[in-house]
Structure 1
């Protein structure tokens, strides 16, 4: 999947979406072998940088998100839309694609 490149200074997710800054992928294996870019796996861990207002319920109320800005999360491997802002990589995904909060 191709990444979307944006040149904006602020991103505000809508609904139950979250904006996650992707953590750097591993450069070396546990045995000390350097990995080329083609062999690196897509990271699944990142830090929440922005959270939408929450899912809109049938009665018009909002369901508050379970996560907040600053949480480190584990998310589904192929979930979301890859976005590049400057040299930083982000993923815009739904709250349901977040598997766990990690510390």
Structure 2
């Protein structure tokens, strides 16, 4: 029994979780040819939609996530928890430590 969520705004990550949405690859080549949707590769780039508040470690130190809402990040090819939204959209939930890198513009 699964329920589709209306939007990513209704998801509030807990602890050190980060909610991201993959950036979609261009559906056409540099020469202007359009590619079939099934042949378009998934990118490892994503935009951060929401960030949890962090957590307190065993020593009592506050550990906050290293990314902020709006950051572009590199994510692993596999992993994370996929959440389906209405309209065939998907978002992914990762731990902060699973994020590979921030992309500087």
TM-score range with shorter-chain normalisation?
A: 0.7 to 0.9
Q: Which has a greater percent of strand?
A: 1
Moved more, 28-37 or 71-80: 28-37
- Please report the TM-score for the alignment, with normalisation by the length of structure 1: 0.78
Displacement of 1:60 in angstroms is: 4.0
What is the alpha-carbon distance in structure 2 between the residues aligned to residue 7 and residue 77 of structure 1? 25
In the alignment, structure 2 segments of 5+ residues that lack a partner are none
Cα RMSD (Å) of the superposition? 2.2
Displacement of 1:40 in angstroms is: 1.7
What is the alpha-carbon distance in structure 1 between the residues aligned to residue 4 and residue 45 of structure 2? 20
Match of 2:63 in 1: 63
Displacement of 1:54 in angstroms is: 1.6
1:91–1:77 distance in 2 versus 1, CA, 3 Å: same
The 8 Å contact of residues 53 and 62 in structure 1, kept in 2 or not, is answered as: no
Match of 1:94 in 2: 95
1:42–1:5 distance in 2 versus 1, CA, 3 Å: farther
What is the alpha-carbon distance in structure 2 between the residues aligned to residue 91 and residue 61 of structure 1? 27
- Please report the TM-score for the alignment, with normalisation by the length of structure 2: 0.77
Equivalenced residue count is 100
Displacement of 1:78 in angstroms is: 0.9
